[in-house]
């Protein structure tokens, strides 16, 4: 790939509806769709050149930095919202605010107690599933034919379903925790 020449052409799949909307928009502007795209990219890059490149942050446990006091002022409703979320997530208001700051800096999940418990349960279910599969594999490798019953498959399927429910709920809770919706 190092000696290959890169094409100066950018190909973007828009889908029929979006392409039609874009072409209609460009027609109203009196611009060719390709030149309008090129101009939009140039504007984005020009704006990006002006902005400082944000630092990348990463969580580490090795460096235990000393804490510094930092005060913030919240409205009554903001404080009530933080208090409510902290209560729901079974943590202190301070912990919830620190987690919110960390998610903003690192873009890594900050798990609350309910998510940690859910992951623990999920690991337990995965280990049980692994043990069952290992038992079946061992018997098959020993040359002992072990009939795989519908009941056993249903049991393994139920374990997988429970696991995916736990993980899905954790993901949903994590996304809901940090999403902010605009009220109209």
Give, rounded to a whole angstrom, the gap between the first and last alpha carbons of the chain: 50
User: What is the domain range of residue 80?
Assistant: 69-110
Q: Which of 69, 94, 71 is nearest to 83 (CA)?
A: 94
Please check whether residues 116 and 181 belong to one and the same domain. yes
Examine residue 128 and state whether it is found in any structural domain, yes or no.
Answer: yes
How confident is the model over 79-110, as pLDDT tens digits? 999 999 889 878 899 988 988 888 777 776 67
Please check whether residues 147 and 173 belong to one and the same domain. yes
Examine residue 8 and state whether it is found in any structural domain, yes or no.
Answer: no
pLDDT at position 183 over 70 = no
For all residues of the chain together, what is the average pLDDT? 78
How confident is the model over 112-126, as pLDDT tens digits? 777 777 778 887 878
Examine residue 127 and state whether it is found in any structural domain, yes or no.
Answer: yes
Distance CA 16, CA 85 (A): 43
Please check whether residues 85 and 104 belong to one and the same domain. yes
Please check whether residues 138 and 155 belong to one and the same domain. yes
Please check whether residues 121 and 101 belong to one and the same domain. no
Q: How many domains does the chain have?
A: 3
Average pLDDT over residues 26-52: 85
Examine residue 11 and state whether it is found in any structural domain, yes or no.
Answer: no
């Amino acid at each position: 790939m190092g000696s290959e020449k890169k094409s100066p052409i950018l190909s973007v799949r828009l889908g029929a509806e979006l392409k039609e909307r874009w072409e209609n928009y460009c027609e109203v502007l009196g611009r060719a769709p390709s030149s309008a795209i090129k101009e939009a990219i140039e504007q984005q890059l020009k704006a990006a050149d002006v902005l400082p490149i944000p630092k990348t942050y990463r969580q580490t446990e090795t460096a235990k930095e000393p804490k510094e006091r930092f005060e913030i002022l919240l409205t009554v409703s903001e404080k009530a919202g933080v208090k409510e979320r902290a209560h729901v997530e079974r943590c202190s208001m301070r912990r919830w605010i620190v987690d919110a700051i960390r998610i903003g800096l690192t873009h890594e999940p900050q798990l609350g107690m309910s998510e940690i418990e859910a992951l623990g349960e999920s690991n337990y279910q995965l280990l049980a599933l692994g043990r069952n599969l290992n038992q079946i594999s061992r018997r098959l490798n020993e040359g002992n034919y072990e009939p795989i019953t519908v009941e056993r498959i249903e049991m393994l399927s139920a374990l997988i379903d429970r696991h995916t429910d736990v993980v899905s709920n954790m993901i949903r809770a994590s996304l809901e925790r940090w999403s902010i919706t605009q009220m109209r």
